[in-house]
Chain A
Amino acid sequence: MKKILIVGAASAIAEAAARRFALAGDHLFLVARKPEQLEAVAADLRTRGAAAVHTYVMDANDFDAHPAMLDAAQRAMGGLDTALLAHGTLSDQPACERDVALAMSEIRTNALSSISLMTHLANRFEQQRHGTIAVISSVAGDRGRQSNYVYGSAKAMLTAFASGLRQRLFKSGVAVLTIKPGFVATAMTAHLSLPAKLTASADAVAADIVRAIDQRKDVIYTLWFWRVIMGIICALPEALFKKTNI
């Protein structure tokens, strides 16, 4: 029975993953911004068989609140072995181009807040010499593209940070998983017209995440074919790439 912290627990992928954890009878500590949504998710998970579900209202951008939240998680569950960071926003690229403050705040939400959490978690897990830190990055972080580079660069920061952390924590037996979803049909992308054949359901992505945590993987692309797609996109020489509209 795992003791799992989920930040951004009311988001679609996190909720789908939490359902799978609940079915396995795991212990859950859910963190989200909106109390009503959080309670709805918690009630669902309790009904589906989670050993226990705790809720904690916190905005991930409130960095000062991070240590207290982690303390609460460890107290409530009698320990902590898995953390899934699933919070984030899909930046409005054109708006970020016009508004520097917005661009900064998007990077704070999508990169810096997770870096703060990962720093705290890394130190705690390093001490206890076991655990898994799983962070949802994105294929957008593999290469900055004109259509979403504010979001993409934030995710690129997360990916690089997680990579270094993975190397550091390997010596302590702690796993760090970088999750790179492609197109996923969720509330976050509801306003976009995503190509149906490439778009995964939140549950399909959650299945990949849960399996990857169990198998202590390092980096996963979900769905799998994004590894191929991004391989091609990243292989394009910059001199050529800059002329395209990819």
Chain B
Amino acid sequence: MADTVVTSWGRVLRAPHPVLGMASRHAPLPAPPQGSPHLLAFGNGRSYGDSCLNIGGGLLDMRQLDRMISFDPASGVLACESGVLLDQILQLVVPQGWFLAVTPGTRFVTVGGAIANDVHGKNHHRNGTFGRHVECFELLRSTGERLLCSPTEHADLFSATIGGLGLTGVVSWARLRLQRIASPWIQNETIRFRSLDQFFELCLASDRDYEYTVAWIDCTSGGKQLGRGLFMRGNHAPAAAAPAAHRTRVRRFPFVPPVSLVNRPSLLAFNTLYYHRQTGERRHSVEHYSKFFYPLDGMLDWNKMYGPRGFYQYQCVIPLPQGRAATAELLRAIADSGLGSFLAVLKLCGDLPSPGMLSFPRSGVSLALDFPNSGPRLHALFERLDAIVNAAGGRLYPAKDGRMSGAMFRDGYPAWQPFLDHIDPGCSSSFWRRVMA
């Protein structure tokens, strides 16, 4: 069977992998292909770095396990196979008055991927991570065991698998708790702010009354304008709020340009225009959930705009109170470097504990930034950022990472040691081998 070249969302690492399939959730796990010592479940490949790759081993394509199992429109409990995309869930449940309790910034990830990375979203301060709303799942191990895991059954394996990056086995199906909504619309307020201090004030003022809060930040502005951006806060709207007309248009980025379209001049131009995109300091709008939660999903393959060299994403979370100063330091380092992208997101994460041993989100401030893959200067910047994050007691997000050192990972995730006991010897990933080296 021929290998398939597989890459992740950042399009930096690409390598041929033997890819196996799984058509039935009742079937046993296939044995790793000849010559591959281990397998890794692969969903929709939206991880940015190498956490979804297994160079030297095999991949198990989970996308065929995309069946719904049951949905109770009275209680909002949905059971489905792990290859179902969050988008497919929304298409089914939104018309019936339900929504995901937690959604990341793209709806094109699988349920298995959402569990493996314990994803979070703009409502982390209200609902915590995805794993908090998973009632149970079935985990298939390479020994042939099929284990039903929940907070009360195989609880240690449950917490190892959430955020466990596919290393504990393969999730075949899961049962989720959804949340009730009155309409597919979001009432959004966008507020322009001039400084990081203003950002934190807005968080304090908003987190109680607004379910969804996040900020876009201008990573090019330094000096007095350090930390300027747009703060977005929103809630699910009542049914009556529907605007007159709504059109969902999905485009596809047509080709890979020969160089990254994201470069210093385009970045400066875009960021200045974007920061000033609204005339007033505050703007109210009613938006469809697809526009509010998934602005980038409107352009399929947007990752191609970074050109053939691809891009890295850097996402960290730093606890407060040191997070305030550390974020300013990070932004200063990024602005000084001249590197960066228009996709820069700042979010205050809340106190709700994450259920996974290796879950990324924790109480504190999270900064996420894309960087075109421009070579050694970028990696030097990353080392600087790592030092800032590490000194402030923060950590990086494996789902986004393609280059952090083993030491950085182990410092950020002290639970890595007890996690070792739950790893399935038949599973491994390029990410894991890198951070455990």
* Additional A-B contacts beyond A12-B64, A43-B69 (12; CB < 8 A): A12-B23, A37-B24, A37-B26, A40-B24, A40-B26, A43-B70, A47-B71, A47-B92, A187-B21, A190-B21, A191-B1, A193-B1
* A40 close to B67 (CB less than 8 A): yes
> Could you list some 15 contacts between A and B, CB below 8 A?
A40-B67, A41-B67, A43-B67, A43-B68, A43-B69, A44-B67, A44-B69, A47-B69, A47-B70, A47-B92, A48-B68, A187-B23, A187-B64, A190-B21, A193-B2
A36 touches B (CB below 8 Å): yes
Closest to B95 in A: A49
Determine the chain A residues whose CB is within 8 A of the CB of B64 once the complex forms. Answer: 12, 187
Residues of A within 8 A of B133 (CB): none
| Distance of A48 Cα from B68 Cα, bound (Å) | 8
Q: Given the complex, which residues of B lie within 8 Å of A191, measured CB to CB?
A: 1
Query: B20-32 CB contact bits vs A (8 Å, 1 = yes)?
Result: 0101111000000
Chain B contact residues: helix, strand, loop or mixed: loop
A40 to B22, CA, bound (A): 14
- Once bound together, how far apart are the Cα atoms of A190 and B25, in whole Å? 17
Q: Could you tell me the distance between the alpha carbons of A12 and B1 in the complex, rounded to whole angstroms? A: 20
| Chain B residues near A12 (CB-CB < 8 A) | 23, 64
CA distance A40 to B70 in the complex (A): 10
Contact yes or no, A48 B92, CB < 8 A:
yes
Q: How many residues of A contact B (CB 8 A)?
A: 13
Query: Which B residues are CB-close (under 8 A) to A41?
Result: 67
State in angstroms the CA–CA spacing of A180 and B67 once bound together. 26
A12, A47, A190 interface centre (most CB from chain B within 10 Å): A47
Give residues in B with beta carbon < 8 Å to A. Answer: 1-2, 21, 23-26, 64, 67-71, 92
User: B25 contacts which chain A residues (CB < 8 A)?
Assistant: 40
Interface residues of A in 95-149 (CB under 8 A from B): none
Task: Give, as a whole number of angstroms, the nearest-CB distance from B428 to chain A.
Answer: 23
Contacts of B71 in A (CB 8 A): 47
A44-B68 in contact (CB<8A): yes
Q: Bound complex: CA of A190 vs CA of B24, how far in Å? A: 14
Give complex CA distance A36, B68 in Å: 14
9 nearest A-B pairs in the assembled complex, by CB-CB distance: A44-B67, A47-B68, A187-B23, A193-B2, A44-B68, A36-B26, A47-B71, A190-B21, A43-B69
A211 to B436, CA, bound (A): 53
Most chain A CB neighbours (cut-off 10 Å) among B2, B26, B67, B69: B67
Measured between beta carbons, the chain B residues less than 8 angstroms from A44 are: 67-69
Contact with B along A151-189 (1 / 0, CB 8 A): 000000000000000000000000000000000000100
Residue of B whose beta carbon sits closest to that of A43: B69
In whole angstroms, how far apart are the Cα atoms of A48 and B64 in the complex? 17
User: CB distance B1 to A36 under 8 Å?
Assistant: no
CA distance A41 to B2 in the complex (A): 30
| Docked complex: A5-30 residues within 8 A CB-CB of B | 12
> What is the chain A residue whose CB lies nearest that of B22?
A187
Cα distance, A187 to B30, chains bound together (Å)? 14
Q: Which of A36, A43, A47 makes the CB contact (< 8 A) with B24? A: A36
CB distance from B339 to the nearest CB of A (A): 35
Of A37, A40, A41, A191, most B-chain CB atoms within 10 Å: A40
List residues of chain A with CB within 8 A of the CB of B68. 43-44, 47-48
Which residues of chain A come closer than 8 Å to B26, judged between CB atoms? 36-37, 40
Q: How distant is A41 from chain B, measured CB to nearest CB, in Å?
A: 7
Which residues of chain A are near B67, meaning CB under 8 Å?
Answer: 40-41, 43-44
Q: Which residue of B lies closest to A190 (CB)?
A: B21
**Closest Cβ–Cβ distance, residue A47 to chain B (whole Å):** 4
How far apart sit A187 and B21, CA to CA, in the bound complex (Å)? 8
Q: Which parts of A190-207 form the interface with B (CB within 8 Å)? A: 190-191, 193
CB of A191, distance to nearest CB on chain B (Å)? 6
State A187–B20 Cα separation when bound (angstroms). 10
Alpha-carbon separation in the docked complex, A47 to B98 (Å): 14
Q: In the complex, how many angstroms separate the beta carbon of B101 from the nearest chain A beta carbon? A: 19
Please give me the residue from chain B that is nearest to A40 by CB atom: B67
CA distance A12 to B65 in the complex (A): 11
B353 to chain A, nearest CB (A): 32
Q: Which residues of B contact A36 (CB under 8 A)?
A: 24, 26
Bound-state CA distance A193–B5 (Å) is 13
Chain A residues near B2 (CB, 8 Å)? 193
Complexed CA–CA distance, A44 and B67 (Å)? 5
A44 to B1, CA, bound (A): 31
Q: Which residues of B contact A37 (CB under 8 A)?
A: 24, 26
Q: Nearest Cβ in chain A — how far from B68, in angstroms?
A: 4
Closest to A191 in B: B1
B80 to chain A, nearest CB (A): 8
B138 to chain A, nearest CB (A): 13
**Complex Cα distance A36/B23, Å?**
12
User: What separation, in Å, do the CA atoms of A36 and B21 have in the docked complex?
Assistant: 18
Q: How far is the CB of A195 from chain B (nearest CB, A)?
A: 11
As a 0/1 sequence over residues 40 to 55 of chain A, the CB contacts with chain B under 8 angstroms (1 = contact) are: 1101100110000000
Chain A positions within 8 Å of B69 at CB level: 40, 43-44, 47
> Which chain B residues border A47 with CB–CB below 8 Å?
68-71, 92
User: How far is it, in angstroms, between the C-alpha of A48 and the C-alpha of B23 when the chains are bound?
Assistant: 19
Distance to closest chain A CB from B97 (angstroms): 15
Q: Which A residue's beta carbon lies closest to that of B21?
A: A190
The winner among B21, B68, B69, B71 for most chain A CB atoms within 10 A is: B68
Q: Which residue of B lies closest to A47 (CB)?
A: B68
Closest to A34 in B: B24
Minimal beta-carbon separation of A181 from chain B (angstroms): 18
Instruction: Give Cα A191–Cα B2 distance, bound, in whole angstroms.
Output: 9
Taking the nearest CB of chain A, how far is it from the CB of B332, in angstroms?
46
CB distance from B313 to the nearest CB of A (A): 27
* Cα–Cα distance between A44 and B69 once the two chains are bound (Å): 5
CB distance from A48 to the nearest CB of B (A): 6
